[in-house]
Structure 1
């Protein structure tokens, strides 16, 4: 069993840290809202810490899952940041969906301080985190990955090293590109079915068993038809992720026209007041256009 720290106890981090504790690891936690860290410690038997640095001290593995690049820098750098007390030979694992640029920046800081850095964004959403079945895409050194992979397995169904630092984040970008196109296509298909007078639920049931089937259709098709969007991955988060994708696409010269268009469609959803709706709420935009 390992000594672990977990920084960031949002909808993903809270259950991820819980799985570490449930598997017998010693876990110290930090959260910007201290009451959440205290609640986690009371529930799981770990230790709530006042700063990221305090949480990281003495840990073999330091895990982090926060909002964006700036949040990540704020909990890693500076006197109270985790890097100030992360020990030599420790492994810092960042589960934030962030830019490849910040991953490389922090990896250089970590290397200078004598510990390893792995960028390890996840896919699977809140349900995946709660059920311990996330997919984890990693970038970093093989030796560091080999050390931490068995611990990541506490909350993952799949974990793979994709390449050097930054490769985890770029793989997550591919994931979000694919999701954006799928959700828009599913929204158009279901809206079309409604306009054509078809039973949408019957349509989903039959076509999900053929070549059109996808995770989005199986898990979101019926809730989209029922106009239910108060769960899952929020539009605001998806727009943050797609902003990262579009910036990286410009950097590497990749054409992502559908992704750019869907990003604007998500902005329309935000303008409708749907920033916290699930990403499958793209269909509401189509319904509004049809009226």
Structure 2
């Protein structure tokens, strides 16, 4: 199969902290991809890393951007993709989380992040993280104005097939916090209807833990329906694989609308789990 060109960012992107796709798309979903790129701005150099390290999972979610682009095209869904490597600043971590500017990742030291000053962290937050989150918030507001009701938020990530020497059996994991299952539950049911798939409920990571910032800020806190897909990288690291999984997810998301039809509402604080 044809390997996806390893550009580290969506093909249409320039040197920017985010890329927007289909801003006026007609879908009831807004897509986000926090770790779409392994790119670094010129002033950051390679953060002191051997360039080969920037092709690894520590720098980006391999295949996630390609799935997001294909999913956006198939659903006609607005999407926001990050423009820089999570090693520069992890947009999916809170500002007070040490892993937002990782000094080491998966056993690899990141010299360019060692002993960062508060001023440098603030600069990276201002230039690289804040614009991405502003773009996500703006895309959601734009979709809500167009639809007349809130959109559902779909996040796309990928995970390594082997971790600490152990194979991970899941083809796809569904991450959610067990409070708002309006989208996550039908999505899991539909994926599990395929006997050939191993589907993880909050595996290989758990959304019940507080690390993930993007979905908490833009979906959970405002009470929007949401789901986060974790796709195994060896299934989506080719163009055919990424396209096939985007098609699979598009079918599942469309079908989920039949099981929980719009208009979506905001789940108010204190509402019972769904």
Structure possessing the higher radius of gyration over alpha carbons? 1
Tell which has more relative contact order, 1 or 2 (C-alpha 8 A, sep 6+): 2
TM-score (norm 1): 0.25
